[in-house]
Amino acid sequence: MYYRYKVVNKKRGFRKTIVAIVLIGAVLFLGYRYRHHLQFWKYSGNKLEQQVAKARSIKDGGRRLEELEGISEDIDRYKLSNLTDSDAYLLSGKVHYLVGESHMGGSFSDLVINDRTADIAPLAERELFIAMRDIRKAASLTGSGKVGMEYSLILAKASFYTRYLTPAEIKSIVSEAGNPEDIADIDDVRFFSMILMLNKEEDRSIRLLTERKGAVTGLQGKLFLASSEKSAKRYTNAIIHYSEVLKETGDDRIRKLVHLNMGEIYFNQSLFQESLTHFISAGEIDKGDLNVKIWMGKNYNALGDKEKAKSIWNEVLLADKTNKEAKRLLGVL
């Protein structure tokens, strides 16, 4: 009797083990099958959008970049689990663009004002290309091929910074997304005005800026308008706007920036004495700026004082033996 009792217990234990294994397998299968739903709390589009908005509000550039990079990793995982979800690719494109913009160190307006739109670091360029790829992927998944104005502007700006598309192609991206007059963000308004400028639509570009409330107000707005006028070679208007900024600010950084731009404008007009005056003023604000010294030398050279120009460029080389521009200029004297 004892032997038979033990045998029955062994069978029951075996059955329990099999049942447990089956249940565990079923849980694992269902967990994998419905993993998107189980993890939705962690990787939901709404939650990620909220995290992006929160990260964008961080004023410290280093912290903002760190937060955005962490979010981009979450979104990349979310995207891999939602390969046919256009919204996942749109969100990915948006965040990778913001990471790239953070690597560039400023908004579009900042980069234009400081003449740095072509100064794109490799890390920024890589993120911008990911943004373009993902937004184009999203467009292919929508069926209509359209992604709306917000994401079209992101695609357009990334294409502009990377020089991936021509100004005409970039203009088409924005125009086909909707009415450019309805663009809400001031920085985006300024961006499209620059694209119009590059497409030789200078009047429409300036009109868009001046008619949009907030686009040319404040020091940043006036500096952007002056930079746009300078890009369009509307030098008289640019000088008027830069002069207004000089009257309104005591910030040495801004004053130096204005003197540099006005110096370049006068140089381009062959008004070398006026140009030299502005570069001397910029040099008084920042005595260590070698680029200012190079421009001063160019003006002295243009005014016929080649010895003074040579002396200044030699000063530049003394401070920076690798300065290619100073070497080039001394080589043509």
Per residue in 259-290, pLDDT (tens digit) is 999 999 999 999 999 999 999 999 999 999 99
Domain with residue 127: its CATH number is 1.25.40
223 within domain boundaries: no
- This prediction has a pTM of 0.77
For 151, the domain range is 42-178
Tell me which DSSP letter residue 1 carries.
Answer: -
Residue 101 lies in a domain: yes
Cα gap 70→333, rounded to integer Å: 53
| pLDDT score recorded for residue 83 | 87
Q: What is the dihedral of CA 165, 168, 173, 175, to 10 degrees?
A: 170
10 lies in a domain? no
Domain-embedded: residue 109 = yes
Q: Does 305 fall in a domain?
A: no
Q: What is the pLDDT of residue 41?
A: 40
Rounded Cα distance, 206 and 211, in Å: 8
CA–CA gap between residue 129 and residue 124 (Å, rounded): 9
Q: Is residue 314 part of a domain?
A: no
Q: What per-residue confidence (pLDDT) applies to 172?
A: 97
Is residue 47, in this structure, part of any structural domain at all? yes
333: nearest Cα among 276, 311, 266, 320: 311
- Below-70 pLDDT ranges, the chain: 1-17, 19-20, 22-23, 25-45, 332-333
Q: pLDDT tens for residues 225-239?
A: 999 899 888 999 999
Residue 128 lies in a domain: yes
The total number of structural domains that make up the chain: 1
